[in-house]
Amino acid sequence: MHEMALAEGILQLVEETAKREHAARVKLVVLEIGKLSTVEPQALKFCFDAVTRGSLADGAVLEIIHVPGTGWCMQCADTVPLTALFEACPQCGGFQVQATGGTEMRVKEIEIDG
């Protein structure tokens, strides 16, 4: 399960930020997770709860913002919605579609308590 490694990486980033800001604890972590990122949000929440026990982020709320998938269709010369990587263009049916959005996962916000 790669979500455990992702949760550990998120915790490291969050703790570094909290220490730099001299925070007593982390209250909220907001993540953006793309539809095409291959990250399972519920598994990530479970792993985040497990890795944050005993840390500055123990008890922090993990909020996930879902980012839709988008791609650039070379045949249509247009941005189109995607629900999966390597799927056909929903407009023309062609497979020359390059993902342009929804593949990312990033920490958008961290709320700390002084």
Right CATH for 2-67+102-113 from 3.30.2320.50, 3.30.413.10, 3.10.310.30, 3.30.460.10 = 3.30.2320.50
Q: Tens digit of pLDDT for each residue in 11-23?
A: 999 999 999 999 9
- The domain locations on the chain are 2-67+102-113
Mean pLDDT in residue range 44-48: 97
Residue with tokens 């993990």: 62
| Distance (Å, whole) CA 28 – CA 104 | 20
More confident residue, 113 or 89: 89
Mean pLDDT in residue range 77-84: 96
| Distance (Å, whole) CA 41 – CA 65 | 10
Average confidence score pLDDT of the chain:
96
Mean pLDDT in residue range 50-66: 97
| Distance (Å, whole) CA 12 – CA 6 | 10
The whole-number pLDDT of residue 1 equals 57
Looking at the chain, the whole-number percentage of residues with pLDDT higher than 70 is 99
| Distance (Å, whole) CA 32 – CA 34 | 7
Comparing CA positions, the residue from 2, 83, 3 lying closest to residue 42 is 3
Give the global pTM: 0.86
Residue 6 corresponds to which tokens in the numbers above?
């992702």
**pLDDT range class, residue 114, cuts 50, 70, 90:** confident
Which element (helix H / strand E) includes 66? strand 61-67
Alpha helices in 30-82 (DSSP H): 41-51
